[in-house]
Amino acid sequence: MNTIQSYIKEHKDRFLNELIELLKIPSISADSAYKKDVLKTADAIKISLEKAGCDSVEICKTDGYPIVYGEKIINKNLPTVLVYGHYDVQPPDPLNLWNSPPFEPVIKKTELHPEGAIFARGACDDKGQMYMHVKAMEFMTSTNQLPCNVKFMIEGEEEVGSSNLAIFVKNNQEKLKNDVILISDTGMIAQDVPSITTGLRGLSYVEVEVTGPNRDLHSGLYGGAVANPINILAKMIASLHDENNHITIPGFYNKVEELSNEERTEMAKAPFNLESYKKALNIEAVYGETGYTTNERNSIRPTLDVNGIWGGYTGEGAKTVIASKAYAKISMRLVPHQDWEEITQLFKTHFENIAPKGVTVNVKTHHGGQGYVTPIDSIGYQAASKAYQDTFGKTPIPQRSGGSIPIVSLFEKELKSKTILMGFGLDSDAIHSPNEHFGIFNYLKGIETIPLFYKYFTELSK
C-alpha cells in the first residue's frame, strides 16, 4: 500500500540520513567565512528537489546568497501551493556549550524526545523542517498522489534579514503566483498538543553607539569628571522600561492592538504549565509586563531587549579605563499594526533625546519587518487543521508565536496570498542556542502531515 505511513516506515533511515548529510554543511549566512558552504548547501537543495520530482529546479542568483526555486505544475486549473523555507543557519556560538560539534549531527534521546532527536545547528531551524517538505513531495510524486501544483522557494538569507529575497519576490510576481504559501519554520505547543501558528511578531533591530571623550582615559585621572559612555549607556537602556515593564518610548504603543477579553480567554485555554516553564529555564520567577500572562508577554505584546552590549576592557584581569565608546544591539519585537520603520524612527528620536550632555549617540538600523496574523476561517487554515486532525487525532490549537519571519508579511503584500505556518518544532529544541535539536517524531510527523494538507487544500478549493 502506498500510504504515507508505509512509505515513511520503508524510507525512514534514508530520510534521516539525507537530513544528517545536509546538516553537516555549515551554511552560516552571517559569517562570510562560510560562503562556500552556504553555496554548497544551495546546490544540495537543488539536487534534492530534482530527486523529489520537481520538473524544473534553478539556482536563482541574487546580490547575496541564491534562492533555490523548483516547481511541478501538473494542471493550470488546479491550485498551487508555494513552499518557503531557508537553508541558512545561525552561527553556532558559543561553541564550548555544545555537547557535540554543531555540524557533526548525532541522534540522542531526551526527556521530550524519547524516540531520539538530531542534534545539530539548523536541525529544527530550518533545515529539518524545510526538508520535511522535500520528502513529502517525494512521497506524493513517486506514488502519484500529488493533487495540485507545487512551487518551492528555499532561500539562504533568512537569518540575516531576507533582503535579497524581498527583491526577488517583487521582481517575480508571475513566477511565484500561488493560492497559498506553506511554511514549516515555527513550533507547536507539545508533542501531543498540535498547534498552527496564526501570528508572528514584527521586528526592529538597531545598534546604538554612545561616544564620550575622544579616547580611552585613565579612570583615576579622569574618573568622576567626564561622562563614562558605558555608565551612560546602561542608564539609558534601563530607562527604556518603567516599573511595570512598559516600554517608555513615546508613541511606541500607539498602534498596538489590544485583544478583547474573549480572545484572551481563548488564548489562555492553550495548555501551559508555569512551573515546568520555570524549571526548564532554571529560573525562580518569570518577569515581564504587568497585567499580562507569560504567553501573552511572548506573543501578543511588543518587547524591547538588549541582545548584546560591549565596550571598555573585557580581557583577563583588571584595567583601569574609561572607554571612549559603548555599544549595544537592541531588538524590538512588534505586534501586528505596529510599523517597523515608524518604531525604528521613534526609538532613534527618543534615544537621541535622552542622551545627556557629554556624550553623543548614533543609532544604526540593521533590519526589520512587519508582524503577521492569519485568520482561522481560510481554506488554508482549515486544510491544515484537518491534516493535523488526521495525524495527531486532535484538532490543532491556533497560536500566535513570538518569533519573526519578516518575509511573510511581504509575501502577503506582494503576492496577495496568505501563509499557513505548520511548525513542528518545540520551544525547547534550542533554536539559535547551543545543542539545537529536532525530534525524529516531529520530523516524521511533519512528513506525514504535509501531504494531507495538499489533499485537503485541493479538495476545499473546488
Binding residues (CB under 5 A) for Mn ion: these are 125-126, 185
Among Mn ion, ligand BES, none, the one that 451 touches (CB under a kind-dependent 5 to 8 A) is: none
Taking the complex as a whole, how short is the minimal distance between the CB of residue 233 and ligand BES, in angstroms?
Answer: 23
Among 125, 138, 179, 429, binds ligand BES (CB under 6 A): 125
Amino acid at 244: N
Among Mn ion, ligand BES, none, the one that 398 touches (CB under a kind-dependent 5 to 8 A) is: none
Residues whose CB is less than 8 angstroms from the CB of residue 281 and which lie 6 or more positions away in sequence, other chains included: none
Using the minimum distance from each CB to ligand BES, give the nearer residue, 401 or 442.
401
Among 405, 420, 422, 450, binds ligand BES (CB under 6 A): 405
Rg (CA), the chain: 23
Stretch that binds ligand BES, among 12-20, 183-191, 264-272, 341-349 (CB under 6 A): 183-191
Stretch that binds ligand BES, among 157-165, 248-256, 382-390, 447-455 (CB under 6 A): 157-165
Beta-carbon neighbour count of residue 304 at 10 Å?
21
Q: Binding of ligand BES at residue 429 (CB under 6 A)?
A: no
Q: Binding of ligand BES at residue 446 (CB under 6 A)?
A: no
The interface mask with ligand BES, positions 201-230, x = CB under 6 A, is: --x---------------------------
Sign of the C-alpha dihedral computed for residues 50, 53, 55 and 58 taken in this order? negative
The phi and psi torsions of 219 (rounded to 5 degrees) equal -75, -10
Among 164, 204, 404, 458, binds ligand BES (CB under 6 A): 404
Asked if residues 153 and 83 have their Cβ atoms less than 8 Å apart, the reply is yes
Using the minimum distance from each CB to ligand BES, give the nearer residue, 51 or 432.
432
The residue assigned the cell 508582524 is 371
**Residue 258 C-alpha from the chain's centroid:** 24
The phi and psi torsions of 59 (rounded to 5 degrees) equal -100, 110
Q: Binding of ligand BES at residue 436 (CB under 6 A)?
A: no
Rounded Cα distance between 429 and 184, Å, is 14
Q: Binding of ligand BES at residue 406 (CB under 6 A)?
A: yes
Q: How many residues does the chain have?
A: 462
Using the minimum distance from each CB to Mn ion, give the nearer residue, 11 or 432.
432
Q: Binding of ligand BES at residue 185 (CB under 6 A)?
A: yes
For residue 381, CA distances in Å to 23, 134, 181, 197, 453 come to 30, 21, 11, 10, 9
The residue assigned the cell 520530482 is 53
Taking the complex as a whole, how short is the minimal distance between the CB of residue 161 and ligand BES, in angstroms?
Answer: 5
Using the minimum distance from each CB to ligand BES, give the nearer residue, 183 or 230.
183
Q: Which of residues 76-105 bind ligand BES (CB under 6 A)?
A: none
What are 330's three cell numbers? 537592541
Rounded Cα distance between 57 and 45, Å, is 10
Using the minimum distance from each CB to Mn ion, give the nearer residue, 212 or 423.
423
Q: Binding of ligand BES at residue 401 (CB under 6 A)?
A: yes
Stretch that binds ligand BES, among 181-189, 261-269, 270-278, 321-329 (CB under 6 A): 181-189
Q: What is the DSSP string of 388-419?
A: HHHHHSSPPEEEE-SS--THHHHHHHHH---E
What are 87's three cell numbers? 537553508
Write out the residues near ligand BES by the rule CB under 6 A: 125-126, 158-159, 161, 185-187, 200, 203, 401, 403-406, 431
